[in-house]
Structure 1
Amino acid sequence: MRRHYPIEFINGPVNSLFIPSEVEIPSNLKRVSFGTLSIDATCLSQPNGRKVISISKDLKENLKIPDVKVPLHLFIDDQTIYIGPLVGIFTSGFTPFAMRPIGERSIFFSKLLSVKKSVGALPFVFGEQHINWETGTIKGFFYLDNGWETIEVPFPNVIYDRLPNRRSEKKAELNKIKQRLQSEYLIPWYNPGFFNKLDINDRLLQDARIAIHLPETHQFSSFSMIERMLSQYGHVYIKPINGSLGLGIHQIIYDRESNEYYCRYRDSNGENKLRKYSSLEALFNHTFKNRRLTNMLVQQGIHLIRLDKKPVDFRIHTNKDSNGEWKVTAIAAKVAGPGSVTTHVKSGGCIKTIPELFPSKEEQEAIIQKLTNSALRFSAALEEQLEGIIGEIGFDMGIDRQGHVWLFEANSKPGRSIFKHPHLKEFDLLTRKLSLAFSIFLTERAIKTPGEIFK
C-alpha cells in the first residue's frame, strides 16, 4: 500500500535525502528527482525509525522544491528515487490580480488545491505564459495558507487538463504545448478535451452492452427523420452537438389527437417557453431560423420517472483513484423546474439527494446500485473507445417508468452545481481528492512502466 510522508528541510550533509526506514533503499540508488528535474544525491535511511522525508536545504534548492509542508510519496526505479507527485493543472484565463489570478474560477482552483495534504500530492495551476522552455521550469500558482503564491518549479510529473472551454482547447498554440510536454518530456496528460456528443454516441454504439442504454440519436439531416422519431417516441430533443450547461436545448412534442406540434425551450431572457405550431416546418422556421441545423443533433425523448409530475434525471460523477480504478464519487437527482426543457438549476430545476427522492431504504439502495453499476460500465466503455487518459467523467442519466437506465450525455469536465446541495458536500470533497489522487497512479506508471502510458 502506498504511503505519503511529511517533508522537512534540514541543515544536513550536502545533497542528502533521509527517507523512512520502512522504505527499502536499493544499494545502487544515487539520484533524487522532483518533477522532471533530477540530480545526484546521497540517500540514507532515517535514524531512530522516523517516518519523515528529510531533505537537505541545498538539495531542496537544487531540485526547486517549494517550502510547502505537504506530505509526499516516494517512487523508486532503477537508480533514482522520485519525490512527488508534482501536479501541474493547465488552464487559461489568467488575470493580473493576486487575489484572483484565474478570475472567477480562482475559488474552484483554491478548493481543488486545498486537498493536497490529504492526498499527498503537490498541485499548482499554470498557463502557457508561465512556462520557461529554456530552463525547464514553470512559474506556477500555489494555493497556500496565506492565499495564492507564485513559485518557480520544474516541469511536473503529470498534467491535469482544466482548460475552461472548447474555444481555448482549439487554440493551436495550446495544442502545441500539450504535444511538446507529452512527446519531448513524456509527461502524462489527463482529461485532454471536451467530449463531442455525437462522437461519444457513435463510439458507444459499438459496444452492444452499452448501446441498449443510448437513446436513438442522429445529426440533423431532414424533417422526415424528425417526423419518424416523433411518431415513434412522441417527443424528441434538439441539442447543439457541442453544447453545454443545457443551453440551446429544445423539446419537440407531437400531439397525435390534434395533429399539432409543441416546442419547449428557454429563451434568451432565461424564461421557459412552450409554443404551439400547426406543422413541423412552421416550428422550425420560427424557432431555428438563425441556426445551422447541421450543428444540431436529434435525440429520442424518454418518459422519465417523475416527482410531483416533473421529470427527474441524475448526475453521476466517476473518478479514477490512486490505483487507477474507476469509482463513483457522487450521485444526485435533478428535478426539472415548472415548464423547463431541462433539469438544470438555471432553468428552475432543483438538486435532490437520493433519500430525498425515494422514501424507502430499499428503493434508495436499488436506485444507487443501478446507477452505480451503469456508471462504472459506461466509464470503462468510454475509456476503451477514446484516445488519451481519462480521469473523471460526469454522466447525465435517466431512469424510465419501466426502470430502464438511459445515458443522455457524458462530460469530460463536469459542472459542479450539484455540490451546492448541503448534503452533497462530502461528495464534492471526494471528487476533488480523486481528481488529484489519480496523479499518484499516473506518476508511478510513467516512472516504472512508461510503455503502458505512452502507447
Structure 2
Amino acid sequence: MSTPKIDVQVISSGILSEDVLMLGESVIKQAKIPVQQQLVLQFGSLRQSVSVVSVPRYEGIRISHSLARRMGVTTGTPLRLQYRTASRTLALGPLLGVLVSRDYPDQSDKPFGAITMFCRELADTCRAQGTHVYFFTPQSIHTDLKNVEGWVYHSNGWHRATLPAPDVVNNRLTSRKLENRPIVQQFIRDIKQRYGGVVFNEKFLDKSEVFDALKNDSSLQKYLPESHSLRNYTMLKSMCSRYPVVFLKPVRGSLGKGIIRLSRLGGEGWQASFTTVGGTRKQSYPNLLKFFSAISGKMKTVRYLVQQGLTLIEASGRPIDFRALTQKNATGKWVVTSIVGRTAGNQHYVSNLARGGTLATVRESVAKSNLPAAYRGDASARLTRAALDIAKGIDAHIPAHFGELGIDLALDTGGRIWLLEVNSKPSKNDNTPLNEGKIRPSVRMMIQYARYLSGF
C-alpha cells in the first residue's frame, strides 16, 4: 500500500481554522481524497472533523497552529498520509510511542540517561521514514488516557509536547513494578480497545513461563535443557541425581543476577557458586540438604527455576554463549537481525556485559573456542535457525504480542544448541552488532514493523 510522505506546514490559526486542511493537488489525486467535504482526520487517538482544500503546485499539508499543538507536531514534521474510503477517514501517521521507565527533565541533552543515544537514533530514522515518534514514561500518561506528555526530537534538541495516544506502542519498560501500575495497564487496554492501536512487547517473560510453554512443542524440545520450578527439596534432589551440575535461576532475574551454579564435589558434597558484582563467590556444603536449608529462606521471596547444567564451549576456561536479536519485519515475519558471541568475564560463569563479558562475532567466538572442528562450519546457520524457531514458538504458545525478542543460546562441546533464556525487553547495548554504521538495522526493522502494524 502506497502512503505518500508529506511535510507539515503550520499556519496561524487566524488564517486557517482547525477544521480545514490544505493539501497539495498531486497528493489529493494520488490518495483519491475528496475535497471540500466533511472527513474525519485521524492521528493516533485524535479525531477531528475536517474538510480539505486543494493547493496547486504544492507537495505538503498545511494545518492550523491550534491543530498542530493538539497533534504535537511542528513545521517540517514528515508524516505519511492515507485516505480510507469506507470510513471517510484521512489518516496521518503513523504515530509511534516508546514507553520507557524514566526520564530526566533537568538533563535536556540526555533526558533518557544511558538510552538517550538509542532514542535519538530512533527519532532520526523515524523522521527519514515519515513516522512520528515520541518517548514517554508511566508518569506522563494523562488521567483521561487520551493524551501523553511526550518527548520529541527536533533539529535543535529534545522538547516536551502534549500528544495523542499513539497508533503503536513499543513497551520498553524495564521494571515489572512500573509495567503493572494500573494507569499503564489501563492505557494499554485503551490503545487496543478504544483506538484500535497495537502494543508490542507488552509484557515481561519469566523463565518458568517460557520453558513450560515451549516444552509442549515437539519441534522445540531439542533446544530445551530439562527445567522445573523449584518448589521443594524432592525436586532439587531429583535433578541433582541426574546431573552433576545444575543451575538455579531466579524466575524473574536479569543480567545474570542471583544465578547459582551447583556442582557435585564427590561423595555427598556439593559446591555452590553465587554470582556477585565482583565475580563468583563459592561455598561448599557437606550434603544437598544443607545447601537447600541455606537457600530456603530466600525461596520465600525468590522463585527459582532448576535447570540441567550444560557443558558449554569455552575459550581459556571462560564460557561462551550467543545473543540473537529476533524481530518482526515490514511484513510481520520473524527475522534474525543480529547474533553475537558473548564470552564470560574472568571469574564469572555468566556472559552478560554488565558482569565483564565481551562481544565478538559468531565466527570469532567459535574460532577461539574448544568446539570440535566438525561442528564449526554451520554453527552460525544453526544458531539462526534455532533463534527463529524459538521466536515463532513464543508467538504461538504465549498469549501476548511481541515484536522483538533477545534469545540467549548456547553450544555444548558436542555441537548441540540449547536455549538459555528469552528476554522480551532486549537491551539496546548488549545486542549491538559489531562494526555497524550509525543507524543499526535493529532500529530500522522496528520502525518498519510499526508501519506494518499501523497500515502505513
TM-score, length of structure 2 as denominator length: 0.85
Rate the CA distance shift 1:292–1:58 in 2: closer, same or farther, 3 A.
closer
> Which range moves more in the overlay, 217-226 or 386-395?
217-226
User: 1:165-207 deviations in whole A, cap 9, x for unaligned?
Assistant: 1111122332223223332333211111110110111111121
The CA deviation at 1:110 is 3.1
User: What is aligned with 2:283?
Assistant: 275
User: What is aligned with 1:73?
Assistant: 80
User: 1:219-270 deviations in whole A, cap 9, x for unaligned?
Assistant: 11333433332332221100111111110001111144x5431222223x53
2:337 is aligned with 1:329: yes
User: What is aligned with 2:422?
Assistant: 410
Instruction: From 418, 431, 440, give the equivalent of 2:451.
Output: 440
User: What is aligned with 1:39?
Assistant: 48
2:400 is aligned with 1:400: no
Instruction: From 354, 357, 374, give the equivalent of 1:349.
Output: 357
> Which range moves more in the overlay, 189-198 or 172-181?
172-181
The CA deviation at 1:358 is 3.6
The CA deviation at 1:135 is 9.4
Runs ≥4 in structure 1, deviation > 6 angstroms? 10-13, 360-365
Instruction: From 195, 198, 211, give the equivalent of 1:188.
Output: 198
User: What is aligned with 1:9?
Assistant: 9
Report the secondary structure of 1:284's partner residue.
Answer: helix
Report the secondary structure of 1:140's partner residue.
Answer: strand
User: Whole-Å Cα distance in 2 between the matches of residues 22 and 379 of structure 1?
Assistant: 42
Contact 2:262 2:273 in 1 (8 A): yes
Alignment of 1:29-108 (within 5 A): 30-43=39-52, 52-57=59-64, 61=68, 64=71, 66-67=73-74, 69-78=76-85, 79-99=88-108, 100-108=110-118
The CA deviation at 1:38 is 3.3
Alignment of 1:223-238 (within 5 A): 223-238=233-248
Rate the CA distance shift 1:213–1:355 in 2: closer, same or farther, 3 A.
closer
User: What is aligned with 1:198?
Assistant: 208
The CA deviation at 1:309 is 3.0
Report the secondary structure of 1:114's partner residue.
Answer: helix
How many residue pairs were aligned?
440
The CA deviation at 1:119 is 3.4
User: 1:375-418 deviations in whole A, cap 9, x for unaligned?
Assistant: 11111111112223211100011112222211111111012343
Contact 1:264 1:340 in 2 (8 A): no
Rate the CA distance shift 1:417–1:63 in 2: closer, same or farther, 3 A.
closer
User: Whole-Å Cα distance in 1 between the matches of residues 143 and 298 of structure 2?
Assistant: 45
User: What is aligned with 1:260?
Assistant: 269
The CA deviation at 1:442 is 1.3
Contact 1:392 1:412 in 2 (8 A): yes
User: What is aligned with 2:305?
Assistant: 297
Amino acid at match of 2:207: K
2:169 is aligned with 1:159: yes
> Which range moves more in the overlay, 363-372 or 189-198?
363-372
Contact 1:251 1:265 in 2 (8 A): yes
- Which ranges in structure 2 are unaligned for 5 or more consecutive residues? none
> Which range moves more in the overlay, 392-401 or 88-97?
88-97
Amino acid at match of 2:23: L
User: Whole-Å Cα distance in 2 between the matches of residues 358 and 196 of structure 1?
Assistant: 29
User: Whole-Å Cα distance in 2 between the matches of residues 74 and 68 of structure 1?
Assistant: 16
Rate the CA distance shift 1:59–1:416 in 2: closer, same or farther, 3 A.
closer
Rate the CA distance shift 1:427–1:289 in 2: closer, same or farther, 3 A.
farther
Rate the CA distance shift 1:288–1:444 in 2: closer, same or farther, 3 A.
same
TM-score, length of structure 1 as denominator length: 0.85
Amino acid at match of 1:239: K
Rate the CA distance shift 1:233–1:178 in 2: closer, same or farther, 3 A.
same
Report the secondary structure of 2:223's partner residue.
Answer: coil
Report the secondary structure of 2:71's partner residue.
Answer: coil
> Which range moves more in the overlay, 18-27 or 138-147?
18-27
The CA deviation at 1:23 is 3.0
Report the secondary structure of 1:218's partner residue.
Answer: strand
Rate the CA distance shift 1:46–1:322 in 2: closer, same or farther, 3 A.
farther
